[in-house]
Amino acid sequence: MTSASASSRAREGIVLSGRRLPDLLAAADTDDDAFDELVSYRAAHWLAS
């Protein structure tokens, strides 16, 4: 990834897939994007609740 593309992605902010939590959980063992979303953006909410 170039510096320019990294900068462009940073400006977009966090973009979640829009999938529901049960769908992410069901797909996480075979879908890298679902797993990354669970670990990176949703796990903190579970731990805090």
15 vs 22 pLDDT, higher one: 22
> 29 pLDDT exceeds 90?
yes
The reply to whether the predicted model has a pTM over 0.75 is no
**pLDDT tens across 3-21, in order?**
555 555 566 777 788 999 8
11 vs 43 pLDDT, higher one: 43
Long-range contacts of 29-38 (CB under 8 A, 24+ apart): none
Distance CA 27, CA 46 (A): 18
> 2 pLDDT exceeds 80?
no
Domain spans in the chain, listed from the N-terminal domain onward: 17-49
